[in-house]
């Protein structure tokens, strides 16, 4: 198996609480992995290990075979896009400057080309280039989330980490965002790790789905396989199936 990301027997502690408890996960290159579980089960913690925002207390994390603990974190993060629920757009910058922020800083985009490249990314997420000169405060929630995706993709990352990125929008907008993201993933062939606590979203988007509970990986498989063979009563309940 082609493991692009490997989380190997990781424990993360906050005082006596184990946010992750001997947690293990291998993620394949090019796959769309969804992570599902209740609030507080450790989803965000798992995600933040991958781009080195958090270091394990025990165990190791490898990205492309390299231990994150000894990696150049700036380089690592440049290859990993990160999109979060409240988007975190810079309010005083236009949409164009938000999207172009990282690639301009790192010299990937020249000043003269940044408008066109930002526009191309916006269009990929289903937004019109006429929004380029707006400020985040002048956008709807769904538009902001699309800009957030465009920004996360701007540095052409090989890996995209998404933490409940579609949480704050209505159902119809959410479906539009899901479709846009699936299209993008096919087009760009990126590896996506997507955290959600919406089971239908996890099943729809994931090539594979990881079910977590209390800091542990409970079941990892294709959504259809998990639906057919839930590993425990907890997984059945999460799927909305009746217990035996
Ligand atoms: N900085 C911190 N200090 C202390 N405890 C923390 C800290 N960050 C997270 N935790 C705890 O670790 C556990 C896992 O947190 P995490 O953010 O990974 O959960 P989550 O699955 O992402 O939840 P949610 O669905 O609500 O976002 C929780 O019990 C949380 O309270
Ligand atoms: Mg979280």
Q: What digits encode the pLDDT tens for the residues 186-232? A: 888 899 999 998 999 999 999 999 999 999 999 999 999 999 999 99
Could you identify the atom of ligand 1 that is nearest to the CA of residue 48? 18
What Å distances lie between residue 149 and 44, 83, 95, 102, 173, CA to CA?
Answer: 18, 6, 12, 13, 14
Instruction: Give the closest ligand to the alpha carbon of residue 84.
Output: 2
Q: How far does residue 238's CA lie from ligand 1's centre (Å)? A: 19
Q: What is the rounded average pLDDT of the residues 153-174?
A: 84
Read off the tokens for 18: 């184990």
Which residues are paired to 25 by β-bridges?
A: 7
In this prediction the pTM is 0.90
pLDDT at 244 over 60: no
- Atom 6 of ligand 1, residue of closest alpha carbon: 14
Could you identify the atom of ligand 1 that is nearest to the CA of residue 41? 21
- Atom 5 of ligand 1, residue of closest alpha carbon: 14
Instruction: Give the closest ligand to the alpha carbon of residue 45.
Output: 1
> Average pLDDT of the chain?
90
pLDDT at 1 over 60: no
Residue bearing the bigger pLDDT, 186 or 168? 186
Which is it for strands 208-213 and 32-36: parallel, antiparallel or unpaired? Answer: parallel
What is the predicted pLDDT for the residue at 112? Answer: 84
Residue bearing the bigger pLDDT, 56 or 180? 56
Which residues are paired to 217 by β-bridges?
A: 212
- Atom 17 of ligand 1, residue of closest alpha carbon: 44
Cβ < 6 A, ligand 1 pocket: 14, 17, 19, 37, 39-45, 197
- Atom 19 of ligand 1, residue of closest alpha carbon: 40
pLDDT 10s digits, 37-88: 999 999 999 999 999 999 999 999 999 999 999 999 988 988 898 888 767 8
pLDDT at 242 over 80: no
Query: CA-CA distance, 187 to 237, in Å (whole number)?
Result: 35
- Atom 30 of ligand 1, residue of closest alpha carbon: 40
Q: What are phi and psi of 221, to 5 degrees?
A: -170, 180
Q: What is the rounded average pLDDT of the residues 156-177?
A: 84
What is the predicted pLDDT for the residue at 67? Answer: 96
Q: Helices 95-105 and 114-124 meet at what angle, rounded to 10? A: 120
């Amino acid at each position: 198996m082609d493991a692009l990301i490997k989380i190997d027997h990781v424990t993360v502690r906050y005082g006596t609480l184990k946010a992750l408890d001997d947690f293990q996960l291998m993620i394949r290159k090019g796959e769309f992995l969804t992570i599902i579980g209740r609030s507080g089960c450790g989803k965000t913690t798992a995600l933040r290990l991958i781009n080195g925002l958090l270091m394990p207390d025990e165990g190791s994390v490898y990205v492309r075979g390299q231990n994150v603990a000894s990696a150049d974190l700036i380089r690592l993060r440049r290859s990993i896009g990160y999109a979060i629920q409240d988007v975190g757009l810079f309010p005083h910058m236009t949409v164009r400057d938000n999207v172009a922020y990282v690639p301009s800083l790192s010299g990937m985009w020249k000043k003269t080309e940044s408008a066109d490249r930002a526009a191309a990314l916006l269009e990929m997420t289903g937004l019109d280039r006429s929004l380029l000169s707006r400020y985040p405060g002048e956008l709807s929630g769904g538009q902001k989330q699309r800009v957030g995706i465009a920004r996360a993709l701007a540095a052409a990352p090989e890996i995209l980490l998404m933490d409940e990125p579609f949480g704050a929008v209505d159902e119809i907008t959410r479906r539009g965002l899901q479709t846009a993201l699936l299209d993008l993933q096919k087009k760009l062939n990126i590896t996506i790790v997507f955290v959600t606590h919406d089971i239908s979203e996890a099943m729809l988007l994931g090539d594979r789905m990881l079910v977590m509970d209390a800091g542990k990986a409970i079941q990892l498989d294709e959504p259809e396989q998990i639906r057919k063979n839930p590993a425990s009563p907890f997984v059945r309940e999460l799927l909305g199936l009746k217990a035996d």
